Amino acid sequence: MDTALDENAVRALATAESFARGRDYVRHGAVLALERRGDELIAEVEGSEYTPYVVTVELLDNNVAATQCSCHYDWGGACKHVVAVLLKYIAAPDAITQKPSVAGMLEGLDREALVELLVKRAKEDTAFIPWLETELATGQSGDGLMGAQRAAVDPEPIRRQAKALLSGRGSPKVRRSDDEIIVDEEAFGSLIDRAKPFLEAGDGRNALNILEAVTETLVPVWRERADWDETLHAFFPVLGQMIAEAVLMSDLLPAECDELMMRIDVWQGMLYEYGLEEHLQVAIDALDQGWDEMGLQDVLAGRARSWPLSGGGDWTTARLTEARLRVLDIKGDTEAFLNLASAAGRHGDHAMMLIRLGRIADAQDHARNKFRSAEEVLEFARLLKQASQIDAALDIAEWWLTLRSDDVASYGTVTLARWLRDIADLSGRRSLAFYAARAAFERSLSLEDFRATAALAGAEWSTFRSHLLASLAAAKYARDRTEIYLGEGMVDEAVQSVDLTNMIDNPSDAVLMQLADAAHASHSDWVIEIAGRMAAGIMEAGRSAHYDLAARWLEMAARAYDAANRFDDWMTQINLLIERHRRKHKLRPLLEALRPRR
């Protein structure tokens, strides 16, 4: 087992909520077919979709190097499915199926056998040939670009692969039905990503060959599906941004710029009637203005302090600035990068570059003077941690929480506090971790943060518990109020926290069921009312699949009647229910089973 991979390491990869949900997934047996191939963990995780999510985790030097999941989670950190896979692996590493890596399976084959294997695969899978053509056209291997100087990328295989994917034929992961074309969006996104290594190498021309081919194919196909598309349109801003970067790093001739601008203008016109024309505007602006925009050179040289000169700017202006910063970074022009980032108010980018340059003190000063949101501080702290500046990362996070101690409604501040809590705990700074845990709970009033604070308080928990519960009681709204009171054995407070007038009748509410169980003797009348409402909601609606749940609620009501010494009242009630629902053949036996005999 990887010695560095423990529960605390997994906790640091995800938000508190994702970690808690992932742990629940493991407890409920949602992780299926977990196996290890070399340095990769591969598993399926049952979730809210019909088909399980596919999770891949890459391990390197006893740490998690990369994660991938087929879900659409994009809220920061690892998703709950990745967390579940890692926790199951940690719990029983020796029980995981061990299989050889793909490289291990192939390394013993000679050239003839490998060619034969590829040809066989091509005959069985029509999507394989376009994929192989794309791989060969972009000239990449496991080491990235093959050679600093290379021939021009042929866009035709890229175009064919894009068409195949958009038709539903280019991926073995999807099936095409008669009335619906399902696009493998992950594969299509990977096709666009083929341009990234060229961009990172400063090869804008070859990046353009890939990006133009993809965009040219996507635009007309998307127009045909625009009325029902839900996701494909999200590729347009990505393409526009990458094309802008490629243009800014390429020495295109004036005639080449004019020709490309005309093509993009045509594509933009095709998107106009659907309100997406601005997604490609950044590419047109890059072609039109490049590095020659009035005043830009003064900003890059540090002779001007504000950008854009007008003092305003819209979304496309900000995107062009982002593209210019990206290109300056790739070219290694750090001073111009710092000058433009500062002038444009891109303070996070400015601080990030200072960290990379090793100017940690300058980066901290810039953050303290310029940052205005918890999100900026959290990203900055994470970058400091990645640069092994753990103490600096903890200090900046603590500074923000102290500075904004009255910020009780910010989700970003809650996320920052949780991050500080977990990293400080891992770093052995328990006092700081406890401070951050309290700060997280005071803002979120969540059960997860309550438990985390209790775990860190240790022997002093009894002292701080009353303070946290007082904050909970004073709050106008707290989603987990009832569950926290119930967990602390405060049945009276838990019952009082349930708003009978405005509560949503949800018979599947596990917390309410637990509370009814705990309160059936001390608050019999309350339990009788709650249980009756929950059961009636199912029975009156004829929800036959949930009749067993209705019976559980009625059983709870029966216990409350019994605790209140109201046997006759329960007999009257259950007889009325049996008579009322006598024609519901699945329900009636369940009700009759609840009628006691003296």
With respect to residue 342, please indicate whether it lies within any of the assigned structural domains: no
The pTM score is 0.72
pLDDT tens digits, residue range 131-170? 788 888 887 533 444 444 467 889 999 999 999 888 876 5
pLDDT tens digits, residue range 345-386? 999 999 999 999 999 999 999 999 999 999 999 999 999 999
Q: Does residue 34 sit in the same domain as residue 61?
A: yes
Report how many domains make up the chain: 4
pLDDT tens digits, residue range 403-435? 876 665 678 899 999 999 999 998 999 999 999
Answer whether residue 174 shows pLDDT above 70: no
Q: Does residue 95 sit in the same domain as residue 148?
A: no
With respect to residue 345, please indicate whether it lies within any of the assigned structural domains: no
- Residue 549: pLDDT band (50, 70, 90) is very high
Is cis: bond before 308, omega within 30 of 0? yes
Per-residue b or e along 54-73, where b marks 16 or more CB atoms closer than 10 Å to that residue's CB: bbbbebeeeebeebebbbee
Per the model's pLDDT, the better-predicted residue between 173 and 242 turns out to be 242
Answer whether residue 175 shows pLDDT above 50: no
Single out the residue in 49, 70, 104 at which a domain terminates.
Answer: 104
CB atoms < 10 A from the CB of 289, how many? 14
Single out the residue in 275, 290, 305 at which a domain terminates.
Answer: 290
With respect to residue 252, please indicate whether it lies within any of the assigned structural domains: yes
Q: Does residue 133 sit in the same domain as residue 228?
A: yes
Answer whether residue 195 shows pLDDT above 70: yes
Q: Does residue 51 sit in the same domain as residue 158?
A: no
Q: Which of 106-115, 132-141, 344-353, 577-586 has the lowest mean pLDDT?
A: 132-141
With respect to residue 266, please indicate whether it lies within any of the assigned structural domains: yes
Containing structural domain, residue 186? 122-290
Q: Does residue 136 sit in the same domain as residue 250?
A: yes
Q: What is the pLDDT of residue 136?
A: 80
Contact 58, 65 (CB under 8 A): yes
Q: Which of 165-179, 307-321, 523-537 has the lowest mean pLDDT?
A: 165-179
With respect to residue 393, please indicate whether it lies within any of the assigned structural domains: no
With respect to residue 598, please indicate whether it lies within any of the assigned structural domains: no
What mean pLDDT value characterizes the chain? 88
With respect to residue 577, please indicate whether it lies within any of the assigned structural domains: yes
pLDDT average, residue stretch 38-56 = 87
- Residue 396: pLDDT band (50, 70, 90) is very high
Q: What is the pLDDT of residue 405?
A: 67
Contact 378, 366 (CB under 8 A): no
Angle at 141 between CA 117 and CA 324, to 5 degrees: 145
pLDDT tens digits, residue range 67-101? 989 887 777 789 999 999 999 999 888 778 888 88
pLDDT tens digits, residue range 328-354? 999 999 999 999 999 999 999 999 999
Q: Does residue 276 sit in the same domain as residue 128?
A: yes
CA–CA dist 426, 440 (Å, integer): 17
